[in-house]
């Protein structure tokens, strides 16, 4: 099977499991009264830590320098976080949509961005 599709499948599998767990935590945290953008920040940081190990070892089977890929992973996630935050700010705070459904959509948008960033920037094999 083509390496791209293997990586996409593995990325999706890791992403679905991690994001399903974290999305349930997001709902719980917001239910307990934490503001949606603050809840997303806590959940996002948790996902970054869990995701690095899974994507480096299994999704992209990266054998390059840990420090270099870790720094690029952090940069990619900074942009992912800003995308997620901007979506919540725009659609929840400015347009008044329900944060639960907007966050669910934001997860998909950020996931697409991150797959491209991980494949071509973070774990590209160049060190």
| 88 within 8 A of 40, measured Cβ to Cβ | yes
Q: Is residue 114 part of a domain?
A: yes
Q: Is residue 127 part of a domain?
A: no
The range of the structural domain enclosing residue 64 comes to: 3-122
Q: How much is the pTM?
A: 0.84
- Using one digit for the tens of pLDDT, what is the confidence trace for 76-119? 999 999 999 999 999 999 999 999 999 999 989 999 999 999 99
Handedness of CA 44, 48, 50, 55 (dihedral sign): positive
Q: Is residue 21 part of a domain?
A: yes
Quote the strand ranges of the chain, DSSP E: none
Task: Record the tokens describing residue 119, joined without a space.
Answer: 């494949």
Count of the separate structural domains present in the chain: 1
Report how far residue 63's alpha carbon sits from residue 60's, in angstroms, rounded to the nearest whole number. Answer: 9
Report how far residue 13's alpha carbon sits from residue 56's, in angstroms, rounded to the nearest whole number. Answer: 14
């Amino acid at each position: 099977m083509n390496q791209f599709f293997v990586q996409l499948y593995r990325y999706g599998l890791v992403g679905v499991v991690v994001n399903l767990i974290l999305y349930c935590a997001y709902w719980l945290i917001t239910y307990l009264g934490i503001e949606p953008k603050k809840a997303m920040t806590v959940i996002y940081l948790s996902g970054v830590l869990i995701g690095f190990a899974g994507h480096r070892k299994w999704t992209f089977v990266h054998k390059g320098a840990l420090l270099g890929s870790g720094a690029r992973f952090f940069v990619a996630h900074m942009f992912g976080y800003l995308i997620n935050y901007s979506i919540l700010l725009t659609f929840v705070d400015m347009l008044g949509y329900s944060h639960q459904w907007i966050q669910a959509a934001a997860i998909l948008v950020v996931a697409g961005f991150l797959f491209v960033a991980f494949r071509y920037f973070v774990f590209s094999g160049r060190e």
